[in-house]
A and B are shown apart, each in its own frame.
Chain A
Amino acid sequence: MARRPLSPHLFIYRFAYTMSLSILHRITGLALAAGLPVLALWLVAVASSDAAYARLNGGFTGVLLKVLLAGWLAAFVYHLANGIRHLLWDAGVGLERAEARRSAVIVIAATVLITAVLAYFLFMVRGS
């Protein structure tokens, strides 16, 4: 077990909007972790048979499947974009308060834009 300093307790610090990005990073991370069993089951269905694959898809009726896919897509894009921000911080880049605020806006804008483009291709162009 890692004996590292634990995360600062949420209600001690004065709220700044950049904090919500940090919390959202955890939430999207957990949502994506929940996708791992689904990804595993999907691969098992692909390996098994047409019937198993149809059964798995049948478990998610149209709208629910689309909502889940769109949600995972958004969580993925956000976690990726904000993850790059974290990696840059680890490299010592962008740690000033004004820079962190600007990169927060960039991450949100990039997430909305990229998710919209990918969702457009997924649902509108190909229509899955």
Chain B
Amino acid sequence: MSVRHSGLRHWRLQRATALGLLPLSLWFVLSLILLPDLSRQSVLNWLASGWAAAAMALMLILLAWHSALGVQVVIEDYVPMKSGRRFALWLSHLAHAAFVLMALLALAAVFRSGAA
């Protein structure tokens, strides 16, 4: 991949994930506010619906992706190569992957228990 190409791909992915998050993140925040309360049972009932679980899964993926891209930009701008930029990038990507995987597995468990 050429030098210009990788920057362009990053730029496009950042915008594409932003566009997807526009409705999905709003839906997430408004849903939380509109739940009768934040008790575990209310959240379980909410995420037991297929639509909510699917939207939540998509939001989690886009959120982690957009976040990883954004944190990458900040690291590249402020962490010099000599101070371990490569390591910081690796750590950030690993953390993002781990947390989104954790969230998706938990969501799957919630959906399965709710649907049963």
Give me the interface of A with B, judged by CB distance under 8 Å: 1-7, 26, 29-30, 32-33, 36-37, 39-41, 43-47, 50, 53, 73, 76, 80, 83-84, 86-87, 90, 118, 121-122, 126, 128
User: B70 contacts A29, CB within 8 Å?
Assistant: yes
B106: which of A26, A40, A73, A84 is its contact (CB, 8 Å)?
A: A40
Give Cα distance in the complex from A51 to B113, angstroms.
17
Question: Are A43 and B103 also in contact (CB < 8 A) when A29-B70, A80-B26, A122-B33 are?
Answer: yes
B34–chain A nearest beta-carbon distance, Å: 8
- Do B106 and A50 touch (CB < 8 A)? no
Residues of A close to B47: CB separation below 8 A: 46
Please tell me which one of the listed residues A3, A6, A39, A121 contacts residue B3 in the complex, with CB atoms under 8 A apart.
A3
Q: List 8 A-B contacts (CB under 8 A).
A: A26-B74, A29-B71, A32-B67, A36-B96, A40-B102, A47-B106, A76-B25, A128-B37
B residues near A (Cβ < 8 Å) are 3, 6-7, 10-11, 15, 18-19, 22, 25-26, 29, 33, 36-38, 40, 43-44, 47, 60, 63-64, 67, 70-74, 76-77, 86, 89, 95-96, 99-100, 102-103, 106-107, 109-110, 113
Q: Given the complex, which residues of A lie within 8 Å of B76, measured CB to CB?
A: 1-2, 4, 6
> Interface SS of chain B: helix, strand, loop or mixed?
helix
Give the shortest distance, in Å, between B110 (CB) and chain A (any CB): 5
Q: How many angstroms between the C-alpha atoms of A20 and B66 in the bound complex?
A: 22
Chain A interface SS verdict (over half): helix
Q: Which chain B residues border A7 with CB–CB below 8 Å?
A: 73, 77
The complex places the Cα of A90 from the Cα of B40 at a distance, in Å, of 41
Contacting residues, chain A, for B63 (C-beta < 8 A): 36, 39
Within 8 Å CB of B38, what residues of A?
128
- Inter-subunit contact B44/A46 (CB<8 Å): yes
Please determine whether B40 and A118 come into contact, CB atoms closer than 8 angstroms: no
Verify B22–A80 contact, CB threshold 8 A.
yes
Residues of B within 8 A of A26 (CB): 70, 74
B86–A46 CB distance below 8 A: no
Given contacts A3-B3, A26-B74, A87-B15, contact A53 B102 (CB under 8 A): no
Complex: chain A residue closest to B109, CB-CB? A47
- Which chain B residue lies CB-closest to A27? B74
